[in-house]
Structure 1
Amino acid sequence: MKLRHLLALALGCLAGAAQAHKSSDAYLRWQVDGTRIEQRVDIALRDLDRELVLDADGDGQLRWGEVRSRWSEIERLADAAIAMRADERDCPVTSRGTPLLDEHTDGRYAVLRLQRDCAAAVGSLTVSYRLFAKSDADHRGIARLDAGGSTQQAVLVPGEATQRFSLGSKEHSPRSFAGFVAEGMHHIAIGLDHILFLATLLIVAVWRRDGRGWAPRETARSACAETLRLVTAFTAAHSITLGLAASGVLAPPSRWVESLIAASVLLAALDNLRPFLRAPRWMMVSLFGLVHGFGFAGPLQDLGLAQGQLMLPLLGFNLGVELGQLALVALLLPAAIALRRAPLYRRALVPGMSAAVALLALVWTLERSLGWALLPS
């Protein structure tokens, strides 16, 4: 099979996940005051369109009229997927808010608001979450509860065990913290652009620059040291911007963040094929790690927490991201070390993978910066 056929096959395998960086998230917020529960649920229009086919004229553009005409169906979908009980009792819905759209970091969301009135003051809430459970295994609900001056957060996985909130509690439950750790790992696992950026760096971490090409490192220890430099640089850089973005200090436009992330993948892959970056690679990784941190921050930004409430979610999410990265290193590095001198690895595997990644990243860059649709979503 010729190289161009290998590249076409690799690109075809990757294209199906080309839009996978932005996870499917919904944002849930409950405010409890005595016997009253006010609920707000923000659901991405792209997810609702997939489920309900809201784009009536099929032109690829969701207009307010198309969404507004199907609002009752959207409400029924949310009602069926989000079940709530207060102190093991049902609290009936007494009013609903008017249809509303809101802009999040990754696009427009339908905002569904309602009020429940309970027979007695609420002491605890249990939530069963099943939104998109059958159609999207990657979906998550990012939840926030405000009551009695305290705020609690949780990550809801469709179809899993119910989430319990005890009102008045100032403590974050281990389950809540673990949920954000899992969300960070999940974010890495479905973020194909992040994975490809790291993988592209790792497959040549077992080599050193040799003029205009690459030469195998003499020892496995040297390869491990280079990997440690790269991973540390990436971690330190993205941790800075993740914290700044999640706390609202910096909020660059999502379109340009995603475009720069795609460009970082492209440059890393091209440098694999023919080294052209003069500075040490860890410096490039640090620079692009700052951009990737903004990409990681979306779920925490849209949760809308005050700075003092961000510590545990931010720590858990960042820990999950690091665990996801370490899992990728553990998967790729031993094989790369073992194969670093093999002719097949040097002449086919690394060039072939790097060329395929560069081509896909080029398409991503054009799509995200210019708004084109070159690959199927």
Structure 2
Amino acid sequence: MLSRVLQLAAILCLALAMAAARGHPSPQSAVLLEGRADSVRAEVTLPLDELALAFGRPLVEVPSNRVLLADAELAAYLAAHIRPVAPDGRAWTVKVGKVRWLLHQRPADVVAFVTLRPPAGAPLDRFTLNFDAIAHHVQSHIAVVTLRTGEDSMPRIAGTLRFGQRSVTVQGADPRWWAGSLDLFRLGMAHIAEGADHLLFLLTLLLPAALLVKNGRWHGYGGPRHLAASLLKVVTAFTVGHSLTLLLGATGTVRVPEQPVEVAIAASILVSAAHAWRPIFRGREAWIAAGFGLVHGLAFGASLRELELSGLRLAAGVLAFNLGIEAVQVAIVAVAAPLLLLLARSRFSVYGRRIAALAAGAMAVMWIALRV
């Protein structure tokens, strides 16, 4: 009887110990990144007990608290397990500097200050950080990567590294407010160039730009001056509309779910196609362009908001992104203008315009169905 009681007590103690172990989370590492003029400073905090598991031996002598691991050995270890990579695949240089052993706190930590420097020509503002210190041996280990862009700014989480995810893309590390503007200009160009729905709306709305209206129908060529005035009004109005909501969306002032925005963009193409077939808002194309531009700008703003910019960096980013959009728009209109001129003067003008309007309308209906 006594032996059974002892067995039950032992099982109970074991169960309590296992529950306590599960209830106490494993210490995690922390990597605080801070952008400098030509490098990124990383403050790496590692829990000492977990680090000892990675090395496979005690790192501190108890109870004297004598450190058994040389700083140079720790520096070599960190240099092997911190691997920043530029967007083109080139490795950054990693230099481990000062090391601090925080042995009088519980749990004890070791903190290393590391300088990360990009290769020549690589951007400081965007790189991939590969980090598997401790985690290469302790697979359940977690590391939290945060980013601070100024001494007085609050760090923001760049990513959490855990099993199966040992790298994180870091953006916004360069503390200079204009940093990354060229990349955002290119991003704006890519966003509009790859956004078939945005371009299709604009081109469909411009289909009858060279035409006059007679008896409620498109009729007759209005001349190059009429075409130039129509293009200028429509493109400017569209730019004003999407620029406004781009700014509001990027700052988070206006947040609209993605699906209704995408449906509304497809609907804007359908309305433009109907107008290209037969004038339904004659002389008010600029107002239509501005109104639907507000909707298109919400989609632009959502993609920019994900970058979490603020202050002067946000202002520069919005401007650069918008200029990228405008650059592609100007190029598209420059190519489309002579084609619209030739179409308006052609004897096949009516058929060509209606076929294009029908194709755009069919595409819009398909997009609406898919997005709904």
- Is TM-score (shorter-chain normalized) higher than 0.5? yes
Q: Report the count of equivalent residues.
A: 249
**How far off its partner does 1:365 sit?**
1.3
Structure-2 separation of matches of 1:287 and 1:357: 19
User: Structure 1 residues 167, 186: closer, same or farther in 2, change over 3 A?
Assistant: closer
**How far off its partner does 1:262 sit?**
0.5
2:189 aligned residue: 185
Structure-2 separation of matches of 1:272 and 1:319: 28
User: Structure 1 residues 247, 166: closer, same or farther in 2, change over 3 A?
Assistant: closer
Structure-2 separation of matches of 1:207 and 1:276: 14
Identity within the alignment, %: 31
**How far off its partner does 1:129 sit?**
6.1
1:353 aligned residue: 356
User: Structure 1 residues 85, 216: closer, same or farther in 2, change over 3 A?
Assistant: same
Instruction: Map Cα deviations across residues 103-129 of structure 1 (whole Å, 9 max, x no partner).
Output: xxxxxxxxxxxxxx9954326456666
Instruction: Map Cα deviations across residues 191-210 of structure 1 (whole Å, 9 max, x no partner).
Output: 00001011112221111222
2:274 aligned residue: 270
Q: Is the 8 A contact 1:259 1:365 kept in 2?
A: yes
Structure-1 separation of matches of 2:307 and 2:127: 19
Structure 2, unaligned stretches of length 5 or more?
1-30, 35-40, 46-83, 98-109, 120-125, 130-145, 155-168
DSSP 3-state at the match of 2:331 = helix
Are 1:255 and 2:259 an aligned pair? yes
Instruction: Map Cα deviations across residues 214-265 of structure 1 (whole Å, 9 max, x no partner).
Output: 1233320111011100001000111000000100100111111111000000
Indicate the larger mover: 307-316 or 327-336. Answer: 307-316
DSSP 3-state at the match of 1:340 = helix
Are 1:172 and 2:178 an aligned pair? yes
1:32 aligned residue: 33
**2:115 counterpart letter in structure 1:** V
TM-score (norm 1): 0.58
Are 1:302 and 2:306 an aligned pair? yes
**How far off its partner does 1:266 sit?**
0.6
Structure-1 separation of matches of 2:356 and 2:172: 50
Are 1:328 and 2:295 an aligned pair? no
- Written as runs of structure 1 = structure 2, the 5 A alignment for 1:94-105 is none
Are 1:218 and 2:249 an aligned pair? no
Structure 1, unaligned stretches of length 5 or more?
1-29, 39-77, 92-116, 131-143, 152-162, 371-377
Are 1:243 and 2:247 an aligned pair? yes
1:146 aligned residue: 148
Structure-2 separation of matches of 1:364 and 1:201: 17
**How far off its partner does 1:165 sit?**
9.2
User: Structure 1 residues 250, 180: closer, same or farther in 2, change over 3 A?
Assistant: same
| Root mean square deviation, CA, Å | 3.6
**How far off its partner does 1:89 sit?**
4.8
Q: Is the 8 A contact 1:184 1:319 kept in 2?
A: yes
Structure-2 separation of matches of 1:166 and 1:362: 39
**How far off its partner does 1:182 sit?**
0.9
**2:353 counterpart letter in structure 1:** V
Indicate the larger mover: 312-321 or 299-308. Answer: 299-308
Of the two, which has the highest radius of gyration?
Answer: 2
Structure-2 separation of matches of 1:217 and 1:128: 53
User: Structure 1 residues 31, 120: closer, same or farther in 2, change over 3 A?
Assistant: closer
